[in-house]
Amino acid sequence: MTSSPTPTRPNPIQFVGYILGRTLPASMQAWVRDDVLGPGGSRRFLLRWNLPVIPPLLLFLLIPGPVWLPIMMILLLLLPWTYFSVALMPIWQRHRLQQHGLDPGLLGVKDRERAMREREAYERRHGRVA
């Protein structure tokens, strides 16, 4: 009797739960790491955070008057919402990593590697490396 392999990607129900903040099984840690920190992770976060806000904001278009007025009201709410979602993205990423049992130190690995390369290049340029 063969057992089915452990899933490494969430099924649609698990994915919706993940989007709403639930924790996935430990077998999906690699997928969570790639979702949060991988290529396109920031774009996915912003889409998941901002798209649900747009339909209620579109209700402003039902306000009578010149069309520029509801558009300005939408922008008045959407721009700060987007600004704060970008500002709070690292906090959310750290939370998601901790929630799934991953090291939150993974969050700054790329930045630390880039800083180390820049420092080495600086030291080579100025003769501080033997």
**What is the rounded CA–CA span in Å between residue 81 and residue 76?**
9
Counting residues of the chain whose pLDDT is more than 70, the rounded percentage is 95
The rounded Cα 83 to chain-centroid distance in angstroms is 14
Average pLDDT estimate for 25-43: 91
Average pLDDT estimate for 59-74: 94
**What is the rounded CA–CA span in Å between residue 8 and residue 88?**
28
Is the pLDDT reported for residue 112 higher than 90?
Answer: no
Give pLDDT, residue 111. 79
Give pLDDT, residue 106. 83
Average pLDDT estimate for 60-71: 94
pLDDT digits (tens, 9 = 90+) for 99-111: 999 888 888 877 7
Give pLDDT, residue 129. 64
Are 32 and 100 within 8 A, CB to CB? Answer: yes
